[in-house]
Structure 1
Amino acid sequence: MMIGIKDQNDKRDSWHHGGWIAKIAVWALLIILMFFLPNVVVTIYETMSKFGSGLFLLVQVIILLDFTHSWNDAWVEKDERKWYIALLSVSVACYIATYAISAVLFIWFNPSGHDCSLNVFFIVMTMVLAFALAIIALHPQVNGSLLPASVISVYCAYLCYSGLSSEPRDYACNGLHKHAQGVSTGTLILGMLTTVLSVLYSAIRAGSSTTFLSPPSSPKSGGKKPLLDSDELEGGKEDKKESEGQPISYSYTFFHLIFALASMYSAMLLTGWCSSNSGSSELIDVGWTTVWVRICTEWITAGLYVWSLIAPLILRDREFA
């Protein structure tokens, strides 16, 4: 419904900003109808949500990359010694946290007496990725910095923990099976928190930035026009307001798409990526599907960060902001 809106004169602009009574009524009606819809509808939406959740995880990664680069640029632009010290301190702290988390994961998910080679592989890969990201970011031919690399590394360590903690509770290499309920609740809270933060950050950036989530061709104001005569001035202002609407500052379509994908991801998080999960109903976000989704997201996160560093070297004919 929001596709193609470029200025506030569009009648659909009021649908985006207003009509809250109607929106709440429709929302409440949909909640009630969901209890009466046939199961096939829920199954179709479940399948859609699995793909939508994957897209939202990619959006989270892009948002994180945008945040870390913006954070780094903001502190570097200050060009003061104390901010450089702050950059170094935060980077070192993030790397200490990354390897500390990895050490704890070895203790929790590699118990003695069991063959836990898969868990060991996941943890070692996290440590290798963290080291590799630092080396690539500090390479003289790459326009990188240690702060984004360290933040991405600690996020990868969190994804590794999140994936391993989602292993089935009867899996011998899951050392947290004795605290299943607490871990399940903690994983849910962390997952929902990152989801909320991602949605809020994307909404804030969309409202304040001229490039992030902005429409592809927003009209721009031209040069200065000569002043009107005093007796033409008032009427001219009114005619101009009526004929020319203010351009929108971000894409309404993408704005709502972010929220739709976030709701799909929340549904998958709450149902363990499967509505017919045969496990305990008290455990949330548990199963091998969740494990591989988290681990693959970790690897994709590292890959996208590396691509953001080497893309200007490969695609020399393109300009990167």
Structure 2
Amino acid sequence: MWCASCLASACAGCTCNLCASALSAISRRSARLAYCGLFAASLVLSFLMRQFATPLLKQIPWINTFDYTQPDEWFQMNAVLRVSLGNFLFFAIFALMMIGVKDQNDRRDAWHHGGWIAKIVVWVVLIVLMFCVPNVVITIYEVLSKFGSGLFLLVQVVMLLDFTNNWNDSWIEKDEQKWEIALLVVTVVCYLSTFAFSGLLFTWFNPSGHDCGLNVFFITMTIILAFAFAIIALHPQVNGSVMTASVISVYCAYLCYTSLSSEPDDYACNGLHRHSKQVSMSALILGMLTTVLSVVYSAVRAGSSTTFLSPPSSPRSAMLLTGWTSAASDSSELMDVGWTTVWVRICTEWATAALYIWTLGKRNTANIGHIVLNLGS
């Protein structure tokens, strides 16, 4: 018995030392990636709470304050919003602490790179405390987070534009025939994918026997934008690239698909309504993946700069898991489904197109990253 107790204590001590060493190594190499890891953990935690925390929330009196039976969907969204608020407060506090830090000589820089065990404890405590606040606080945060999520969608588009332009420039600078062929292959594949996918959208979301003019308009606009991108990029007075235009075209087609797939289950023009649960889950996973990738990329690109691209917390993860609907509304059990989601995503597609066309003219004097930093200043 005594041996077993000693062995357990030794194992626990080794585990703690190993965790501390790992956290210290991560902080030395890149605190930015560690912060992104916390952000990704918050996404996973939000998803798990949404799926499994409803019975627990029903037992908390200051959350379940209703005289009537509230649907499970309300508790699911409430759980997501509380995790999101705790995560937002954690990153907001550290962002405020870093205001004015110019270089590593500032004493506060050590707070940014070190103390990861304490930071994780604070992160956990803040999330737990959010389950102790009254519902009115969560309602206010829900309204504010919708505006923050819309802003993050635009930032995500900027990250894509920055990435594709850097990708294109890096291959052109190699000045070798194999890289020119690679650019051509990527361009052709992207455009073929765009038009083939658009054809599938006509099949899925314009079923015969129904008046689906709105869906046809959305899909047609996506095809027109793809042609417009190529024409503008090839204009002699524009410093553009057809490869970049093709990548943006694919992304716009993807946004059009996610928008149409978010149409209500009972909408006759949604040809995927029989597979609505699978489509909703796949859209959620893709949305979470793109969110994490954009945050990681912004962390690597923006680094320790004090611009608005530095990645604290994104309220979009609340909105991804609540479908941009209100916790007080009578929503379906599906994630990311509803007309609000449809219009948010289709407007994001159009904003992407407008921003891309606008930046084509600006690339004569600056790259996309510098343009965006100037916008944020």
Match of 1:306 among 332, 354, 357: 357
Q: Say if 2:58 is the partner of 1:4.
A: no
Aligned position for 1:74: 170
Secondary structure, aligned partner of 2:154: helix
Check conservation: 1:2, 1:253, Cα contact below 8 A: no
Q: Encode CA deviations 1:237-261: one digit per residue, 9 max, x unaligned.
A: xxxxxxxxxxxxx325646x5231x
Structure 2 residue aligned with 1:142, among 238, 241, 245? 238
Give the stretch that moved more between structures: 25-34 or 123-132: 25-34
1:267 equivalent to 2:318? Answer yes
User: Cα distance, 1:4 vs. partner?
Assistant: 1.1
Measure, in 1, the Cα distance between the counterparts of 2:263 and 2:279. Answer: 11
Partner of 2:143: 47
Give me the whole-angstrom Cα distance separating, in 1, the residues matched to 2:266 and 2:127: 35
Structure 1 partner of 2:161: 65
Amino acid at match of 1:119: N
Separation in 2, partners of 1:48, 1:124: 33
Task: Report what 1:276 is aligned to.
Answer: 328
Q: Distance in 1 between matches of 2:235 and 2:307?
A: 39
CA RMSD after TM alignment: 1.5
**Aligned residues of 1:56 and 1:258 also touching (Cα < 8 A):** no
**2: CA distance, partners of 1:157 / 1:12:** 45
| Structure 1 counterpart of 2:305 | 251
Q: Which structure would you say has the larger RCO, counting Cα contacts within 8 Å and 6 or more residues apart?
A: 1
Which residue of 160, 172, 188 maps to 1:92? 188
Q: Partner of 2:249: helix, strand, or coil?
A: helix
1:183 matches 2:290: no
Deviations 1:32-74 (A, max 9, x none): 2222211111111111111111111111111111101101101
- SS of equivalent residue, structure 2 residue 203: helix
Structure 2 counterpart of 1:101, one-letter code: F
* 2:186 counterpart of 1:122: no
SS at match of 2:200: helix
Secondary structure of 2:132's match?
coil
Letter in structure 2 aligned against 1:186: S
Which structure 2 residues correspond to residues 24-39 of structure 1 after superposition, within 5 A?
24-39=120-135
For 2:56, the equivalent position in structure 1 comes to none
Which of 293, 297, 301 is the matching residue for 2:348? Answer: 297
Tell me the TM-score normalised to structure 2 length: 0.69
Separation in 2 of the partners of 1:173 and 1:47? 30
User: Mind listing any 5+ residue stretches in structure 2 that lack a counterpart?
Assistant: 1-96, 368-377
- Map of 1:245 onto structure 2: none
Residue number in structure 2 paired with 1:131: 227
Which SS does the other structure have where 1:301 is aligned? helix
How many Å apart are 1:277 and its aligned residue? 3.9
Go from structure 1 to structure 2 and tell me whether the alpha carbon gap of 1:81 and 1:68 turns closer, same or farther (over 3 Å shift). same
Q: Normalization by structure 1: what TM-score? A: 0.81
1: distance between equivalents of 2:239 and 2:108? 42
Name the aligned partner's letter for residue 200 of structure 2.
Answer: V
Tell me, in whole angstroms, the C-alpha distance in 2 between the residues paired with 1:28 and 1:312. Answer: 43
Alignment-derived partner of residue 56 in structure 1: 152
Unaligned runs of 5+ in 1: 208-249, 314-318
The verdict on how the C-alpha distance between 1:140 and 1:183 changes in structure 2, with shifts beyond 3 A counting, is same
